[in-house]
């Protein structure tokens, strides 16, 4: 993968992205609603000082919607180079740290880059606001098990499966509509229904590093690939697989929201242990 572009090209793409922010949001599938859910959870764990610091950066958006933008703009030809920023390829028992060092274009490197921009108060609110959108998105991406996936099957994209009578692929299952819980709850309502972790659990989750999050996703491989099928044919996924996957996804989204709040509280210099 090519290295991240020069500062001149970066400024040009920043201008394009700012223009894209005026465009309407895409229709909500589970992927977007999952990012929203993580944002709503994060909002419950933000310090008051952090909320104040976020207002000029969000420019009227909610944190729940801000994390959707990186998926929106990567469809633009000018931002096609950003696609590798959303994932990390690592083998089942490989080293996450070693995999991340092999290319500067991966989700861990991208998160570190945009966290640095977000914390740089010498930059304008627009640039820091764009960095915030990437940070919110990549924190959630790191918690999706197949965004820390096998290169051999492109994070499950090359594994055909059947959900009912519909053919799709394994990555799309973990990203998409098949894992939406029964009913028509909004992402905000789902966030309210998930049981909030106790304070010691929040602290433990927030003390973990992004590399730790990636290793957690890597460790979920046995659950992600826990079904049998015939090589070369779409594999029907049994209902119990989808039920188990929903439990994993809810837990990972809950963790990502709590951790996003922790990262933002730290980056924006909120006092340690502050109340919401």
In a domain, 272, yes or no: no
Cβ-based neighbours of 126, under 8 Å, separated by 6 or more: 14, 18
Over residues 36-65, the mean pLDDT reads 94
Q: What pTM was estimated for this model as a whole?
A: 0.86
In a domain, 209, yes or no: yes
Quote the CA–CA distance of 197 and 195 in Å, as a whole number. 6
In a domain, 273, yes or no: no
Over residues 112-130, the mean pLDDT reads 96
The dihedrals phi and psi of 187, each to the nearest 5 degrees, come to -60, -35
Assign residue 195 a region: left if phi > 0, alpha if psi is -120 to 50, beta otherwise?
beta
* Per-residue pLDDT tens digits for 181-201: 566 678 888 888 888 899 999
In a domain, 276, yes or no: no
In a domain, 274, yes or no: no
Q: With 80 as the cut, is the pLDDT of residue 67 above it?
A: yes
Please give the tally of structural domains in the chain: 1
pLDDT confidence of residue 21: 41
In a domain, 30, yes or no: yes
Q: With 60 as the cut, is the pLDDT of residue 11 above it?
A: no
For residues 118 and 246, the model is more confident at 118
* Per-residue pLDDT tens digits for 154-168: 999 999 999 988 899
In a domain, 169, yes or no: yes
Write the CATH number for 243.
Answer: 1.10.575.10
In a domain, 128, yes or no: yes
pLDDT confidence of residue 165: 87
Cβ-based neighbours of 14, under 8 Å, separated by 6 or more: 126, 127, 130
Domain that holds residue 112: 7-267
């Amino acid at each position: 993968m090519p290295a991240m572009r020069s500062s001149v090209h970066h400024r040009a793409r920043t201008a394009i992205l700012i223009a894209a922010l005026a465009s309407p949001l895409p229709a909500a599938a589970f992927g977007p609603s999952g990012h929203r859910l993580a944002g709503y959870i994060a909002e419950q764990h933000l310090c008051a000082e952090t909320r104040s610091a976020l207002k000029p950066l969000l420019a009227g958006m909610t944190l729940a919607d801000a994390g959707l933008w990186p998926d929106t703009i990567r469809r633009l030809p000018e931002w096609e180079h950003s696609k590798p920023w959303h994932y990390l390829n690592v083998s089942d028992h490989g080293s996450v740290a070693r995999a991340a060092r092999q290319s500067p274009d991966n989700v861990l490197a991208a998160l570190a880059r945009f966290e640095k921009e977000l914390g740089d108060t010498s930059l304008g609110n627009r640039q820091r606001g764009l960095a915030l959108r990437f940070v919110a998105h990549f924190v959630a991406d790191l918690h999706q098990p197949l965004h820390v996936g096998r290169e051999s099957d492109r994070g499950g994209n090359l594994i055909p499966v059947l959900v009912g009578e519909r053919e799709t692929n394994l990555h799309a299952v973990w990203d998409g509509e098949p894992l939406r819980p029964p009913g028509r709850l909004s992402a905000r309502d789902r966030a309210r229904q998930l049981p909030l972790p106790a304070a010691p659990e929040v602290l433990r989750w927030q003390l973990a590093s992004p590399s730790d999050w990636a290793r957690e996703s890597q460790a979920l491989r046995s659950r992600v690939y826990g079904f049998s099928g015939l090589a070369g044919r779409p594999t029907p996924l049994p209902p119990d697989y989808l039920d188990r996957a929903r439990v994993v996804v809810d837990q990972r989204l809950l963790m990502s929201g709590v951790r996003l709040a922790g990262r933002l509280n730290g980056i924006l210099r909120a006092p340690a242990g502050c109340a919401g």
